[in-house]
């Protein structure tokens, strides 16, 4: 029997027998619907998650373009030789992070203070100037166990904690093959926002059947509930079951969100990512927020300016939407790009690849606002310096060597969400969790 692309996508999103839709319709975890007796026997356990209280969904913006985020970030304004955009919209601006006043390009000051209080700017070295090495950077340049990508390591650790429909991460924003995600070495499908909209908002689509699906599923579980569950297990089920009114609200909310998607831009990717997390499909969604791209020829750094302004605006919108959805404490936003850009003198009409300096960003409840690492002259440009793992400060005497800062970033992100970072190695053997970046 030939399977349509729509059915294949639905199966990918919601699992065999569309168990994920039944979970969405009832409020019950997938584990209870697929193996109810075992799930009830496990009531009260941690479900295989060692640190459920720390678990977070992850929205990861990743790019193989080598965006010049490092040219506008705090930590690069103390040295007057570093070249920034001279456009008034990018004027050096004071903002407060971690209780300290720092300078960054003006767009970063548009982040609300509550967001800045949990925002970390990471000065890292990816050690590659090659665009197609983006998959290697996502694999932490050989530091990850079995060559697993960082988003996949996060997904494997977080899926049991969050009870997601699938463990595999999903990309809604990959623009080229170098940005595709691997899970256990296997390529994962890319689901652009318009494809997600077309599949789920179809008049005969799955979101239109949530209410009857709820009633049917609960009816199938009734005998087990009545005759096979203890009072504690019944209370557990009762506490999770979604009412018909709630199902109607969920259905309407998701349809409205998806219907508002008009294209595959970064803003639409954000909306698609949030919708996937609300449906509990996956622990990790990858998007692509442009921040200047491959700007070798960029007269007056005009494109860098425009995309930095729009990129930060997308992050502001993401934070607003997470708050509106009640997810601001449950979702961590992070970035990781293949490399940064040259920022030394002469970079006024474009920038070259910089294997020694890239800036990543994390925003979320597990993080304490601040700047991790810093920059110093390297050869004819600038590169990331060593990091003091206890404080996050950049220092030539830091215990985390510059070449190990990428591995340290991955280790810290894993630790922040309650996962074990112990499997990550590092090129010089100095990689460590950056304790100074963590809120607790």
Spatial distance between the Cα atoms of 208 and 211, rounded to a whole number of angstroms: 8
Q: Is 25 exposed, middle or buried (0-12, 13-18, 19+ CB in 10 A)?
A: buried
Calculate the CA 149 to chain-centre distance.
Answer: 13
What pLDDT sits at residue 143? 96
Which ranges constitute the DSSP H helices of 175-209? 193-200
Question: Which tens digit of pLDDT belongs to each residue from 27-82?
Answer: 888 888 888 877 777 766 666 665 788 999 999 999 999 999 999 999 999 999 99
Window from 71-85, 215-229, 295-309 with minimum mean pLDDT = 215-229
Residues 6 or more apart whose Cβ sits within 8 Å of residue 305: 85, 87, 89, 90
Dihedral angle over CA of 221, 224, 229, 234, nearest 10? 20
Residue (of 111, 115, 141) closest to 308 by Cα position = 111
- CB-based contact 36:104 (threshold 8 Å): no
Contact assessment for residue 179 and residue 64, using Cβ atoms and an 8 Å cutoff: yes
pLDDT at position 1: 40
Q: Which of these ranges, 20-24, 93-97, 267-271, has the smallest mean pLDDT?
A: 20-24
Name the phi and psi angles at 114, rounded to 5.
-65, -30
Q: What is the mean pLDDT of residues 135-146?
A: 96
pLDDT reported for residue 52: 80
Model confidence pLDDT, tens digit, residues 334-387: 999 999 999 999 888 999 999 999 999 999 999 999 999 999 999 899 999 999
Mean pLDDT, range 381-410, rounded to an integer: 98
In this prediction, residue 224 carries a pLDDT of 78
d(CA 401, CA 356): 12
Residue 363, number of CB atoms within 10 A of its CB:
24
Contacts of residue 412, Cβ cutoff 8 Å, sequence gap at least 6: 421, 433, 434, 437, 438
Q: What DSSP string describes 60-105?
A: EEEESS--GGGGTSTTSSSSTTS----SGGG-EEEEEETTEEEEEE
pLDDT digits (tens, 9 = 90+) for 421-433: 999 999 999 999 9
Nearest residue to 399 via CA among 377, 435, 430: 430
Q: Please give the share of the chain, as a percent, with pLDDT higher than 90.
A: 71
Q: 437 pLDDT exceeds 70?
A: yes
User: pLDDT tens digit string along 161-206?
Assistant: 998 989 999 999 998 889 999 999 999 989 999 999 998 888 877 8
User: What's the pLDDT at 47?
Assistant: 60
Please tell me the predicted confidence (pLDDT) of residue 17: 73
274 pLDDT more than 70: yes
User: Among residues 276, 275, 301, 303, which one has the least CA distance to residue 290?
Assistant: 303
CB count within 10 Å of CB 113 equals 11
Residue 426 to residues 61, 96, 149, 318, 356, Cα–Cα distance (Å): 23, 32, 14, 32, 16
Neighbours of 8 (CB within 10 A): 12
- State how far the Cα of 183 lies from the Cα of 167, in Å rounded to an integer: 9
pLDDT at residue 2 in the model: 46
- Residue with structure tokens 């949990």? 118
Q: How far apart are CA 13 and CA 167, in angstroms?
A: 11
Round to whole Å and give the CA distance between 396 and 338.
24
| Distance of alpha carbon 272 from alpha carbon 244, whole angstroms | 25
Helix, coil or strand: residue 4: coil
DSSP 234: H
Contact 360, 122 (CB under 8 A): yes
Domains of the chain: 1-45+201-262 (no CATH), 53-192+264-437 (3.40.720)
The two structure tokens encoding residue 135: 């998959």
pLDDT at 4: 59
């Amino acid at each position: 029997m030939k399977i349509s692309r729509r059915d294949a996508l639905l199966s990918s999103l919601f699992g065999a027998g569309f168990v994920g839709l039944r979970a969405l319709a009832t409020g019950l975890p997938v584990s209870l619907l697929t193996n109810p007796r075992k799930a009830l026997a496990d009531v009260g356990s941690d479900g295989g998650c060692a640190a459920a209280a720390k678990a977070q969904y992850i929205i990861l913006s990743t790019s193989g373009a080598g965006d010049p985020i490092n040219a506008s970030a705090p930590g690069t304004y103390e040295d007057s030789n570093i070249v920034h955009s001279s456009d008034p919209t990018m004027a050096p601006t004071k903002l407060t992070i971690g209780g300290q006043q720092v300078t960054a390009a003006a767009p970063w000051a548009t982040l609300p203070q509550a967001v800045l209080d949990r925002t970390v700017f990471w000065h890292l070295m990816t050690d590659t100037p090659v665009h197609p090495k983006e998959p290697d950077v996502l694999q932490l340049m050989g530091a990850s166990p079995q060559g697993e990508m960082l988003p996949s390591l996060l997904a494997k650790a977080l899926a049991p904690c969050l009870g997601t429909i699938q463990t595999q991460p999903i990309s809604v924003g990959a623009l080229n093959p170098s940005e595709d995600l691997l899970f256990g070495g296997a390529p994962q499908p890319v689901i652009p926002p318009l494809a997600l909209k077309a599949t789920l908002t179809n008049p005969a689509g799955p979101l239109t059947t949530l209410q009857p699906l709820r009633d049917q599923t609960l009816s199938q579980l009734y005998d087990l509930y009545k005759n096979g569950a203890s009072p504690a297990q019944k209370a557990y089920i009762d506490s999770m079951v979604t009412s018909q009114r709630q199902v109607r609200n969920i259905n309407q909310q998701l349809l409205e969100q998806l219907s508002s998607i008009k294209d595959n831009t970064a803003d639409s990717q954000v909306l698609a990512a949030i919708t996937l997390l609300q449906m509990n499909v996956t622990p990790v969604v990858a998007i692509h927020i442009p921040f200047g791209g491959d700007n070798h020829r960029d007269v007056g750094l005009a494109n860098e300016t425009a995309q930095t302004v729009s990129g930060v605006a997308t992050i502001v919108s993401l934070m607003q939407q997470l708050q509106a959805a009640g997810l601001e404490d449950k979702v961590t936003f992070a970035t990781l790009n293949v490399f940064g850009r040259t920022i030394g003198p002469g970079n006024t009409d474009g920038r070259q690849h910089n294997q020694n300096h890239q800036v990543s960003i994390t925003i979320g409840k597990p993080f304490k606002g601040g700047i991790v690492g810093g920059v110093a002259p390297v050869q004819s440009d600038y590169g990331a310096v060593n990091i003091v793992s206890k404080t996050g400060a950049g220092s030539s005497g830091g215990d985390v060597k510059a070449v190990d800062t990428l591995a340290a970033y991955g280790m810290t992100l894993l630790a922040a969400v309650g996962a074990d970072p112990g499997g990550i190695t590092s090129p010089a053997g100095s990689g460590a969790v950056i304790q100074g970046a963590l809120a607790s």
